[in-house]
Amino acid sequence: MKKSVLFSIFACFLIQSCSDQKNMKVERTLSPMFEKMSVGLPVAAKEPYEMVAHGDKRIDNYYWMKLSDDQKNATELDAQTQKVVDYLNSENTYKDDLLSHTNGLQDKLYNEIIGRIKQTDMSVPYKKNGYYYLTRYEEGKEYPIHSRKKDNLENEEEILLNVNELAEGFNYYAVGGRSISPNNKILAYGEDTLSRRIYNVKFKDLETGELLDEVIENTTGGVVWANDNKTVFYTRKDDALRSYKIFKHKLGTPVSQDVEIFHEKDETFGTFVYKTKSQKYIVIGSYATLSNEYKYVSADSPDDAFTMFQPRERNLEYSISHFEDKWYVYTNKDGAKNFKLMSCPENATTKENWKDVIAHRDDVLLEGMDIFKDYLVLSERIEGITQLRVIPNEGKEYYIDFEDEAYLTYTTTNLEFDTENLRLGYTSLTTPNSTYDFNMKSKEKTLLKQQEVVGDFDPSLYKSERIMATARDGVKVPISLVYKKGLKKDGNAPCLLYGYGSYGNSMDPYFSSVRLSLLDRGFVFAIAHIRGGQEMGRQWYEDGKFFKKKNTFTDFIDCGKHLVANKYTSSDHLYGMGGSAGGLLIGAVINMEPELWNGVIAAVPFVDVVTTMLDETIPLTTGEYDEWGNPNEKDYYEYMKSYSPYDNVVAQDYPSMLVTTGYHDSQVQYWEPAKWVAKLRELKTDQNPLIMYCDMEAGHGGASGRFKRYKETAMEYAFFLDLEGITE
């Protein structure tokens, strides 16, 4: 249930004082959008459906909107499916009608957004096993071309996949999990044509250019090659889209004869498979929110049995990397809440053999590591900001310096052990994404590529800040924000506050050329680094989950109030935005304090928390118990119900809203936002616009293609710009 998006909408509020907003009477005016309306509001039929848990009865009038995958994908629609499709189409017709007067603005925004994108572009090449690999785009084409050059970049280009050709005839097309055999002769890749993140794996003979006959269906997208160039391991999904089985396939044999290597029977766990950077081992991993387990086998002997690394234990999280004769273990063992780095001998891997390499620190979150022959590079988060720490085998350790106040840095493709060069990425709210080679010995940074913003973009025209809001319990919550210089902090500027706050996912201050369409029209863009993420360490995550989940929502509200109090904006111009679990955030905060927001966007929102978490047939449910709790237990049920947006819609005024979803979404099923919108229409007492857009072709990630996705972005921008009174 994860997605990040960057847009918002507006409604008409009159508030005289930011200090006592909760007690203010709000006068609302009819949105000018309705002056253009020619079709009626969509009306969903009410068909009461009773649900009982722990003696508590809930009535869901819109449960009928839920369809099975078989119903959705059937060639001929049954009556129930047709009823749902007709309703979703009526919502889209209503959206089209209400926004028809913004079509010109939408076109302008779309052309503006894609006009900043360098259409003929190429990634920074990386070298692996004798070849330089690169991805490039051609002008006007939606999809990438993946290619390679042998030995050096001056040699002839070999096209591996032209995704533009593969995507012909499909409304949606995505390639995943590209991997090449150790002898460089066979390419495996996954193909998704439905946007359900279910891939069919295909194999291409790179010497002849022909596809092999064998196709592996229902996978996570990639395969892992053993060193014999014929054995691959892959992961399959169950009906709930949980990665649950690992299979072994031998090229040239029927897929029906593939051997099941591992079955993850615990429904709260998923499984995956990968090859170590050393190329020595194939590793099978099992993961849950609070526990991990790994098994390994020599990549030279793929038919041998896998060896257990360390059996799973509740609350023991770890991951493993191999180098020379050691395993390195990233773990929270012995109460290391912010994680630490340990190591063990290659042939003695259980936890009693683990020894500290980097000890736990209360004020530093260890997020990852990269191992080199003479260096160890740690990815750390200190006071919410990412840092790269270089530890030489000989000499003094140091942090790589960067100048911005708030930024994101990360290691990228580092496939070699014996090198002094570290490939890293860097971006900030005002700095386009940049790729560097950093010499760990000389400390010299070489810029290889910076995202080009086509046109007259000048980073010196924009200013970023990092400020702290005080939450109602006294905790300081960081806010990263950016705006065009010349901003008058008089409360009149529109401000979009974005948040997520779940799964320990940190929302970092990164650059977006798309966002310039807001900044150049006077918007402030702000990110609320609320609890439930991991920006301020592991405890930040722990304090925003289970029975502390409401901290996520109140933090976001308090960040909004801080922006108002400090006159970056006012409630007349404050907007909220979140997607997926961030859509849950938006749904919760507008129930709790609707008068604070002039408008919101909830993208693919997870809003029917209780019903979804009680239904183990829905994708991702059982694996989410360690995030939200298990509502089969009464205490969790009652707490979830107390904040679930769908269950807490009441007869009150709500801000203007735009809700987006995808008919084929596998993470947050379309019926959650559809039911939510129907219930809001039934109960809300205002006359502000409530619009839902359901992409009938796409899933959780939206449309495929490099440019097509920005059609929806332009629609969203035009929607709230129009309500803000900005027409150009």
- Picking from 371, 415, 372, the residue whose alpha carbon sits closest to that of residue 128 is 415
- Picking from 43, 36, 147, 20, the residue whose alpha carbon sits closest to that of residue 91 is 43
**Continuous segment of H or E residues that includes residue 160:** strand 158-162
DSSP result, 356-403: EEE---TTEEEEEEEE-SSEEEEEEEETTEEEEEEEESSS--EEPP--
HSE, side-chain direction, 13 A CA sphere, residue 331: 27
Distance separating alpha carbons of residues 143 and 705, to the nearest angstrom: 6
Q: Which of 243, 580, 656, 704 is catalytic?
A: 580
The residue type found at 548 is K
Residue carrying the six token digits 């002839």: 156
Distance separating alpha carbons of residues 72 and 81, to the nearest angstrom: 7
- Picking from 258, 346, 255, 266, the residue whose alpha carbon sits closest to that of residue 302 is 258
Q: Assess whether 580 carries a catalytic annotation.
A: yes
Distance separating alpha carbons of residues 7 and 709, to the nearest angstrom: 14
**Continuous segment of H or E residues that includes residue 328:** strand 326-331
Q: Specify which residues 702 forms β-bridges with.
A: 699
**Continuous segment of H or E residues that includes residue 148:** strand 145-150
3-class SS at 633?
Answer: coil
3-class SS at 122?
Answer: strand
Q: Which of 664, 700, 704, 722 is catalytic?
A: 700
Q: Is 418 exposed, middle or buried (0-12, 13-18, 19+ CB in 10 A)?
A: exposed
Distance separating alpha carbons of residues 685 and 595, to the nearest angstrom: 13
Distance separating alpha carbons of residues 169 and 160, to the nearest angstrom: 20
First to last CA, the chain: 35
Residue carrying the six token digits 């099978």: 284
Distance separating alpha carbons of residues 543 and 539, to the nearest angstrom: 6
Angle between helices 634-643 and 550-565 (to 10 degrees): 30
Q: Which of 258, 608, 647, 665 is catalytic?
A: 665
- Picking from 701, 700, 655, 705, the residue whose alpha carbon sits closest to that of residue 680 is 655
243 to each of 238, 492, 718, how far by Cα in Å? 7, 49, 39
Q: Assess whether 325 carries a catalytic annotation.
A: no
Q: Assess whether 700 carries a catalytic annotation.
A: yes
**CA dihedral of residues 102, 108, 109, 113 (deg, nearest 10):** 160
Residue 478 CB contacts under 8 Å (≥ 6 apart), including other chains: 384, 466, 467, 468, 469, 529, 535, 536
CB 589 within 8 A of CB 575: no
Phi/psi for 196 (5° steps) reads: -110, 5
416 to each of 16, 586, 656, how far by Cα in Å? 61, 44, 52
Distance separating alpha carbons of residues 266 and 244, to the nearest angstrom: 9
Q: Annotated active-site positions, please?
A: 580, 665, 700
